[in-house]
């Protein structure tokens, strides 16, 4: 079972970043995501379970099947759900291009921060559509690294930000995929495709967002690609240090960071 390249890596630091991200963004990205009693929900690409526990707790009478291709991530996800005392989640290791489920097995599919890492997102969406029962719904949440702006902006800060985009592209992913959700879902055969942006804004009047989003989500995400960016020859040590210092000013007094996620819903 081949594993797609995950640009941020599978370290304990990355697992902590994902947990921080889920906590900071939950109210914005999960608003209205509730499933009825008895619904069968596939979480496609659960990772370390950062989203799983929140989804399952919000819909305690729904049944979740959460899959991922990484055995290590699944082990962490199981622990997260067990620690939350939830009993409505089953975990399975699976490749999203060839999932071990019969067609029309699920009422809902939930996909969050997954398509950006896949070389074949359209093929995966087509496969997920087949897993939905007629009239079933898919929810897809992705970011778009081209949507960000920050202050103060500088060439040094933009250089490390571009490393994030370029490294992911070189590994077969697309960190700009948020803008493609509507055409991808339409091409995959879904109906009634609706996409809305979810902008995230942080300045020093919102200290919880500066800490939870700018520092623990954004800065940590960029820092996580340092090794790949240098190995690919995208940047050298000195430029990286100067760039991270410059980008960090967006989390200091007077700094601003803004970024848009995109949430799509569609039906089979």
The alpha carbon of residue 9 and the mean position of all alpha carbons in its chain are separated, in whole angstroms, by 13
Share of the chain above pLDDT 90, in %: 86
Are 112 and 143 spatial neighbours (Cβ–Cβ below 8 Å)? no
Query: What is the per-residue pLDDT across 199-243, written as a single tens digit (0 to 9) for each?
Result: 999 999 999 999 999 999 999 999 999 999 999 999 999 999 999
* Tokens representing residue 145 in the block: 């690294």
Q: Measured at the alpha carbon of residue 88, what is the angle toward residues 82 and 92, in degrees to the nearest 5?
A: 75
| Measured CA distances, 77 to 28, 46, 71, 144, 170 (Å) | 22, 7, 10, 25, 28
Residue 33: is its pLDDT beyond 50? yes
* Tokens representing residue 179 in the block: 């803008």
Mean predicted confidence (pLDDT) in 48-61: 92
Mean predicted confidence (pLDDT) in 114-119: 95
Written as one string, the DSSP assignment of 32-65 is T----TT-EEEEE--TTSTTHHHHHHHSTTSEEE
Residue 27: is its pLDDT beyond 80? no
4: in domain: no
Of the two residues 103 and 25, the one the predictor is more confident about is 103
Residue 134, domain extent: 12-267
* Residue-level pLDDT at 13: 63
5: in domain: no
Mean predicted confidence (pLDDT) in 84-99: 96
pTM of the model: 0.90
Query: What is the per-residue pLDDT across 255-264, written as a single tens digit (0 to 9) for each?
Result: 999 999 999 9
Residue 6: is its pLDDT beyond 70? no
7: in domain: no
2: in domain: no
Rounded to whole angstroms, the Cα distance separating 204 from 215 reads: 12
Rounded to whole angstroms, the Cα distance separating 11 from 254 reads: 32
92: in domain: yes
* Residue-level pLDDT at 228: 93
237 Cβ partners below 8 Å, 6+ apart? 230
* Residue-level pLDDT at 67: 98
Q: How many domains does the chain fold into?
A: 1
Rounded to whole angstroms, the Cα distance separating 221 from 216 reads: 8
Query: What is the per-residue pLDDT across 59-85, written as a single tens digit (0 to 9) for each?
Result: 999 999 999 999 999 999 999 999 999
* Residue-level pLDDT at 31: 79
The alpha carbon of residue 204 and the mean position of all alpha carbons in its chain are separated, in whole angstroms, by 25
The domain that holds 147 is classified in CATH as 3.40.50.150
* Residue-level pLDDT at 198: 92
Are 268 and 133 spatial neighbours (Cβ–Cβ below 8 Å)? yes
3: in domain: no
**16 strand-pairing partners:** none
* Residue-level pLDDT at 3: 42
Residue 194: is its pLDDT beyond 80? yes
* Residue-level pLDDT at 5: 57
């Amino acid at each position: 079972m081949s594993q797609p390249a995950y640009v941020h890596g599978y370290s304990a630091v990355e697992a902590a970043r994902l947990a921080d991200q889920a906590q900071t963004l939950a109210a914005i990205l999960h608003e209205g995501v509730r499933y009825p009693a008895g619904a069968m929900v596939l979480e496609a690409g659960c990772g370390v379970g950062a989203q799983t526990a929140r989804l399952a707790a919000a819909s305690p009478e729904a049944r979740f099947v959460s899959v991922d291709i990484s055995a290590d991530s699944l082990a962490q996800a199981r622990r997260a759900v067990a620690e939350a005392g939830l009993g409505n989640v089953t975990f399975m290791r699976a490749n999203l291009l060839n999932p071990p489920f019969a067609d029309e097995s699920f009422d809902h599919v939930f996909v969050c921060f997954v398509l950006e890492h896949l070389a074949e997102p359209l093929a995966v969406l087509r496969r997920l559509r087949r897993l939905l029962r007629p009239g079933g719904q898919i929810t897809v949440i992705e970011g778009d690294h081209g949507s960000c702006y920050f202050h103060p902006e500088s060439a040094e800060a933009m250089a490390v930000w571009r490393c994030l985009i370029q490294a992911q592209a070189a590994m077969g992913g697309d960190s700009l995929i948020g803008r493609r959700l509507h055409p991808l879902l339409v091409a995959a055969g879904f109906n009634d495709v609706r996409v809305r942006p979810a902008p995230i804004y942080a300045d020093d009047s919102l200290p919880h967002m500066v800490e939870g989003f700018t520092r623990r989500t954004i800065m940590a995400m960029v820092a996580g690609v340092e090794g790949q960016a240098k190995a690919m020859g995208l940047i050298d040590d000195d430029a990286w240090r100067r760039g991270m210092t410059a980008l960090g000013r967006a989390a200091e007094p007077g700094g601003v960071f803004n970024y848009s996620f995109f949430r799509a819903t569609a039906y089979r």
